[in-house]
Structure 1
Amino acid sequence: MKKRAILLLAMMLIVVAALAACSGNSGGNSGAGQGDNSGTGSGGDSGNTGKNAGGDSSGSNSAGEADDGGGAAKDKAFTIRAGAWFIDERGHQVAFKKAVEEGYKKLYPNATIQWDITLGSTYFDKLKAQFASDTAPDVTFYQTLDYAKAGNLMDLSGEPWVSRMNEAAKKDPTLSYEGKLFGAPGAGNIGGGIWFNKDLFDKLGIQPPKTVQEFLDACEKIKADGKTPIALGFKDLWTANMFLMNWLQSYTFPTDADYGMKLYDGTVAFDDAVIQKVYQHVDTMKGKGYFNKNALSIDWPQSAQLFASGEAAMIVQGPWMPSANAENIEKGGYDKFQIGFFPFMDEGGKSSLTFASGTGLGINAKTKLVQESKDLVALMLSPEVMAPWLEGEGGLPMFTDVNVKFADPVMDTVKQYLDGGLTLPYGLTAFMPTSSANAMVDVLTKVVSGVKFNPADLKSAQDAMAKDKAAVVLPQF
Structure 2
Amino acid sequence: MKKTLRFALLASTLLAGTAQAEDVTLTIESWRNDDLTIWQDTLIPAFEAANPGIKVTFSPTAPAEYNAALNSKLSAGSAGDLITCRPFDASLELFKQGNLADLTSLAAMANFSDVAKSAWQTDDAAATFCVPMASVIHGFIYNKEAFDKLGISPPTTVDEFFAALDKIKADGTYIPMAMGTADQWEAATMGYNNIGPNYWKGEEGRLALIKGTQKLTDADWVAPFEQLAKWKDYLGDGYQAQTYPDSQNLFTLGRAAIYPAGSWEIAGFNTQAAFKMGAFPPPVAAAGDDCYISDHTDIAMGMNAKTAHPEETKKFLEWVGSPEFATMYANALPGFFSLNSTPVEMKDPLAQEFVSWRGKCHSTIRSTYQILSRGTPNLENETWTASANVINGTETPANAAKRLQEGLESWYKPAP
Shorter-chain TM-score range: 0.7 to 0.9
Deviates most, 441-450 or 362-371: 362-371
Contact 1:432–1:469, Cα closer than 8 Å, also in 2:
no
1:1-400 matched pairs, under 5 angstroms: 69=18, 71-72=20-21, 74=23, 80-84=27-31, 88=34, 94-100=37-43, 102=45, 112-118=57-63, 126=68, 138-144=82-88, 147-148=91-92, 150-151=96-97, 152-159=99-106, 161-162=108-109, 165=111, 168=113, 172-177=117-122, 178-187=125-134, 189-190=136-137, 192-224=138-170, 225-232=172-179, 238-243=185-190, 244-253=192-201, 258-286=204-232, 288-291=233-236, 293-294=238-239, 297-299=242-244, 302-329=246-273, 335-346=274-285, 350=289, 351-355=291-295, 357-367=297-307, 370=310, 373-374=313-314, 377=317, 380=320, 386-391=326-331, 392-399=333-340
Q: Name the count of aligned residue pairs.
A: 389
Letter in 2 for 1:453: T
Paired with 1:170 and 1:26, the residues of 2 have a C-alpha distance of 50
Give SS of 2:345's match: coil
After superposition, the Cα gap between the structure-2 partners of 1:97 and 1:236, relative to the gap in structure 1 and judged at 3 Å, is farther
Give SS of 1:263's match: helix
After superposition, the Cα gap between the structure-2 partners of 1:102 and 1:425, relative to the gap in structure 1 and judged at 3 Å, is same
Percent identity over paired residues: 20
Shift of 1:430: 5.6
Deviates most, 434-443 or 363-372: 363-372
Deviates most, 440-449 or 389-398: 389-398
Shift of 1:460: 4.0
Shift of 1:267: 3.9
Shift of 1:250: 0.8
After superposition, the Cα gap between the structure-2 partners of 1:212 and 1:399, relative to the gap in structure 1 and judged at 3 Å, is closer
Q: Which residue of 2 is the match for residue 37 of structure 1?
A: none
After superposition, the Cα gap between the structure-2 partners of 1:338 and 1:101, relative to the gap in structure 1 and judged at 3 Å, is same
CA-to-aligned-CA distance 1:68-122 (integer Å, 9 cap, x gap):
956246377x8x35123x5537xxx742454345567876798753202316xx9
Paired with 2:360 and 2:327, the residues of 1 have a C-alpha distance of 25
Q: Which residue of 2 is the match for residue 440 of structure 1?
A: 383
Shift of 1:366: 4.3
Shift of 1:183: 1.4
Paired with 2:146 and 2:253, the residues of 1 have a C-alpha distance of 12
Contact 2:134–2:337, Cα closer than 8 Å, also in 1:
yes
Deviates most, 369-378 or 152-161: 369-378
TM-score, normalising length: structure 2 = 0.75
After superposition, the Cα gap between the structure-2 partners of 1:188 and 1:112, relative to the gap in structure 1 and judged at 3 Å, is closer
Letter in 1 for 2:329: W
Contact 1:430–1:473, Cα closer than 8 Å, also in 2:
no
Paired with 2:89 and 2:298, the residues of 1 have a C-alpha distance of 10
Letter in 2 for 1:433: L
Structure number having the greater helix percentage = 2
Shift of 1:145: 5.6
Shift of 1:204: 0.8
Contact 1:222–1:229, Cα closer than 8 Å, also in 2:
yes
Paired with 2:69 and 2:379, the residues of 1 have a C-alpha distance of 20
Structure possessing the higher radius of gyration over alpha carbons: 1
Letter in 2 for 1:312: A
Paired with 2:343 and 2:260, the residues of 1 have a C-alpha distance of 27
Letter in 2 for 1:249: P
What RMSD, in angstroms, separates the aligned Cα atoms of the two structures? 4.2
Task: Say if 2:396 is the partner of 1:456.
Answer: no
TM-score, normalising length: structure 1 = 0.66
